[in-house]
Amino acid sequence: MRTLVFIPAWNEAASVAAVIAGVRERLPEADVLVVDDGSTDATAARAREAGATVASLPFNQGLGAALQTGYLYALRERYDFCAHLDADGQHPPSDVAGLLEEVYADRADLVIGSRYRDRGAAESDDYRPTLSRRIGTSVFRFFLTLATRQRFTDTTSGMRAANRRVMALFSQHYSPDFAEIESLQLAVRQGLRVEEVPVRMLERAGGASFLTPLRSAFFIFKGMIVLLVGQFRPRRREPVEPVPLRKARAGQ
C-alpha cells in the first residue's frame, strides 16, 4: 500500500521545507510531492532539499490546477491513497495522518479536514479567521449543504485525503478556478463517500493570505455561480466501481 502526500505551493519558499519535514516525520511511509505552481522564488529548490519530489508547473495556473496535478501524479504513479495539505504551514502534518486513517479503513472515499468541526474549545482557539472569511465560509457552508444534502462545515479546506476513485475523478474534472467547493459537490454527485474530520489550524508560518474584502465578495459570487452550474451536471445513479491500479493509465 503506497501513499502520496502532495503539497501545492506557490511562492512558499519560507515555509515549504518545514511542512515537508513535518510530513516526513509524521508519515515516514508516504512519498512527498510538491506541486510548484509556477513559483518565482526558491520554492522548488527548498522542496528538493527537504527531500520531496517536485512537479513544477511552467507558469502559475491556480490552486485547482496545482491540486489536479497532484491527483494526476498519484493516479499515474499508482498510489493507492493520496492526501494534500497547504504549503504555508497552517495545517499540522499530524492531522493528515488522521485523515488518511479514514480512507485506509475505507470509511470514506474523500476525507476533508475541517477547521470548524468541533473538537473541543481549547484547541479551536488556535485559529481566528477574519470577518470576510467567516462570512464567505458560512455562505458556502449553507449553499453546499443545500446542494449536496450533506453537512459540510469547512468547504474551502485545503487538507484532504483520498483513494483512487477520487484520483480518477479529480484528475479528469477539477475546476481550475474554484477547486475546493466544486470538487466537493462533484464528488457527492458522483456517489462518492465524502466525510469531514476535525483538524486544527495554525497561524501562518510565512507568506500572506490573498483574500481582501473585495476579492472575498467576488469569490463568494463566483462560488455561487459555480455551485448553481454544478447542480445541472449529471448525477451518478449506479454504485461507484473501484478504480483498479492496472487500468489507471488507460483511463484517459
Longest dimension (CA), the chain: 49
When the beta carbons of 34 and 201 are compared against another protein, the nearer one is: 34
Q: Which of 90, 111, 89 is nearest to 101 (CA)?
A: 111
Residue 55 sits in the site that holds another protein (CB under 8 A): yes
Contacts of 209 by beta carbon, 8 Å cutoff, 6+ apart: none
When the beta carbons of 54 and 199 are compared against another protein, the nearer one is: 54
The grid coordinates listed for 206 are 510565512
Which span sits near another protein by CB under 8 A: 85-93, 111-119, 216-224, 243-251?
243-251
Residue 73 sits in the site that holds another protein (CB under 8 A): yes
Number of residues that bind another protein (CB under 8 A): 30
Residue 118 sits in the site that holds another protein (CB under 8 A): no
The grid coordinates listed for 53 are 519530489
Contacts of 24 by beta carbon, 8 Å cutoff, 6+ apart: 30, 32, 50, 51
**How would DSSP label each residue in 54-115?**
EEEESS---HHHHHHHHHHHHHHTT-SEEEE--TTS-S-HHHHHHHHHHHHTTS-SEEEEES
Which span sits near another protein by CB under 8 A: 64-72, 93-101, 122-130, 202-210?
64-72
Select the residue interacting with another protein from 14, 23, 54, 188 (CB under 8 A): 54
Touching another protein, residues 22-41 (CB under 8 A): 24, 31, 33, 35-36
Please report, as ranges, the residues that interact with another protein according to CB under 8 A: 2, 24, 31, 33, 35-36, 48-49, 51-59, 61, 65, 68-69, 72-73, 76-78, 176, 245-246, 249
